[in-house]
């Protein structure tokens, strides 16, 4: 598998997150009111928590703004919503 070094180097475009959430909400993605109003803040808070866990586990520090953190957040989220559906 390739190393994908750009994930460790490229930074997250925090300003684009709210626009993406707004667009997906218009398409019918069911976001709650907090996500619709605070997507950037929620994403950044989540990134800080993931980066802190990564550093605590012996990984590199200062990664909160990198795309690898966004990928980790995405992968952690996979299947979560469907398990909660009834």
Q: Crossing angle of helices 33-56/67-77, nearest 10°?
A: 110
pLDDT band (50, 70, 90) for residue 80: confident
Q: Residue 65 falls within a domain, yes or no?
A: yes
pLDDT band (50, 70, 90) for residue 84: low
Tell me the C-alpha distance between 23 and 17, whole Å: 10
**Chain mean pLDDT for the chain:** 91
Q: Residue 76 falls within a domain, yes or no?
A: yes
Q: Residue 34 falls within a domain, yes or no?
A: yes
Q: Residue 1 falls within a domain, yes or no?
A: no
What pLDDT score was predicted for residue 3? 85
Q: What is the pLDDT of residues 40-58, one digit of tens each?
A: 999 999 999 999 999 999 9
User: What is the CB neighbour count within 10 angstroms for residue 68?
Assistant: 21
Tell me the C-alpha distance between 48 and 55, whole Å: 11
Report pTM.
0.83
Q: Residue 70 falls within a domain, yes or no?
A: yes
Q: Which domain holds residue 50?
A: 6-84
Q: Residue 47 falls within a domain, yes or no?
A: yes
* The total number of structural domains that make up the chain: 1
Using only C-alpha atoms, the chain has a radius of gyration, in whole angstroms, of 14
């Amino acid at each position: 598998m390739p190393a994908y070094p750009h994930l460790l180097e490229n930074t997250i475009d925090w300003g684009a997150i709210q626009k993406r959430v707004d667009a997906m909400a218009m398409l019918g993605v069911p976001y709650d009111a907090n996500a619709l109003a605070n997507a950037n803040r929620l994403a950044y808070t989540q990134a800080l928590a993931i980066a802190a866990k990564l550093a605590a586990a012996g990984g590199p520090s200062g990664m909160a703004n990198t795309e690898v953190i966004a990928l980790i957040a995405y992968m952690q989220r996979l299947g979560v919503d469907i398990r909660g559906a009834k």
